[in-house]
Structure 1
Amino acid sequence: MKKLMLMAALAVFGFTNVNAQDDATSGGQTSEGKWLIEANTGNAMLGTTGLYFSSSDGSSEYNIGLDGGYFIIDDLAIKAGLGYGGFSPDEGDSTSSFSYRIGAKYYFKSMIPVTIDLTGASGDGVENYAGETPLWLGFGAGYAWFISGNVSIEPGLRYNLSLNEDYTDEGVFQFNVGFALHF
């Protein structure tokens, strides 16, 4: 009996999810004139407009930010984002940073988001020894799982290429989970 109930619940969930995906692929959430607001998990290694918190040995690091976008044509959104973060060491002075992002996001088949954007940061404590600040060109791809008519969860992979070799010449690879509102 438990197996039957579990299978029935999975069937209902699967049917509901298929309907949400069908709504997504019919152009509803990603059609021209729609808006997008999203929050992503972040990475402390670069300026970010995502959500991030880390604490270790009495020191803590955090970031909070959001991205927003407007669909200029079906499946293509122009995006911008802002973030604010800080670092509080166990001893010494705290630092803070302001991050920004501008770019584009295209949804292949209305459910496979691909992004390209420019991300930078400024503020006390973000400069390296030469006084340079980070600037990154980001490329990402993932999958948009529409859990309702206007909410999606978007796990994805991202690579950030450093554009300021005086800051760092290393790229950063990351796994993100995004949460988006479409309206």
Structure 2
Amino acid sequence: MKKLLLSAAVAVFFLTNVNAQSDSGDFTLAPQVGLNLSNYTSSENLNNRIRTAFNFGVVGEYYLNDRWSLRSGLFYDSKGTKIKESGEEYIDKLNYLAVPIHANWHFGSKRNWFLNFGPTLGFLLSAKADTPEGEFDVKDELESSFDIGLGVGIGYKFNVSENTELFIQYQGYNGFIDLFGLDEFSVFNATSAFNVGVIFQP
């Protein structure tokens, strides 16, 4: 009896994993939420530290086959940094509408692992400086209200049912657009994010 139950459990697990693999022409939607660790990168020492914030949004994914897919979506994406000067803390809060345009490679024997990469577009929603004197709008101080950079992420999917999966993901981003247009040096957005979400196949 124990052998029969074990065999049945293995069969169910195998079939669930096989059915969870997506084929050519399949489309999935994945709402997600995550923790952002954002900062500025520069050739100069800015005396800055990581700003902790969040992101949320949804990804749509179109499968070319069981290994490759194209993904895009819309995200509320928090960026910025913390700066400490003369014992006082200043926080730049830059919030973007982010649009990734990524290829996604699904690997592993059950295609549960995935690696995405490609450009990510960012459209500035708000820019505020949190200072000891209060919070101020600094949108006009930015060189551009548009950002573009390289996004790279890796994640793992857990099968829940035939059409539903949970996932965890690490996503990195490095911007290419100089934020402030200073003559002396350039400043760019950089983000590391840890995300969780649910994948649905309509």
TM-score by length of 2: 0.59
For 1:155, the aligned partner's letter is I
Q: Cα deviations across residues 12-40 of structure 1 (Å, max 9, x unaligned)?
A: 8887545422333xxxx321111011112
In structure 2, the residue matched to 1:5 is none
Which of 21, 32, 39 is equivalent to 2:24?
32
Unmatched segments (≥5 aa) in structure 2: 1-6, 39-52, 79-93, 128-138, 181-186
TM-score by length of 1: 0.64
Change (3 A) 1:135 1:13: farther
Count of residue pairs the alignment pairs up: 149
The answer as to whether partners of 1:30 and 1:107 remain within 8 angstroms in 2 is no
Q: Cα deviations across residues 114-137 of structure 1 (Å, max 9, x unaligned)?
A: 111322322442457333233231
Which of 169, 193, 202 is equivalent to 1:174?
193
For 1:156, the aligned partner's letter is Q
Which of 139, 142, 155 is equivalent to 2:152?
139
Aligned equivalents of 1:159, 1:100: Cα separation in 2 = 14
Aligned equivalents of 1:156, 1:115: Cα separation in 2 = 10
Aligned equivalents of 1:64, 1:172: Cα separation in 2 = 14
Change (3 A) 1:117 1:40: farther
Correspondence 1:18-167 to 2 at 5 A: 18-24=14-20, 29-43=21-35, 64-83=56-75, 97-109=96-108, 110-126=111-127, 127=139, 129-133=141-145, 134-166=147-179
In structure 2, the residue matched to 1:53 is none
In the TM superposition, residue 159 of structure 1 has moved relative to its aligned partner by: 1.4
The answer as to whether partners of 1:32 and 1:75 remain within 8 angstroms in 2 is no
Secondary structure, counterpart of 1:178 in structure 2: strand
Higher relative contact order (CA 8 A, sep 6+): 2
Identical columns (%): 18
Q: Cα deviations across residues 52-73 of structure 1 (Å, max 9, x unaligned)?
A: xxxxxxxxx8865311121122
Q: Which has the larger radius of gyration?
A: 2
Aligned equivalents of 1:71, 1:170: Cα separation in 2 = 30
For 1:173, the aligned partner's letter is S
Change (3 A) 1:73 1:128: farther
Secondary structure, counterpart of 1:118 in structure 2: strand
The answer as to whether partners of 2:35 and 2:193 remain within 8 angstroms in 1 is yes
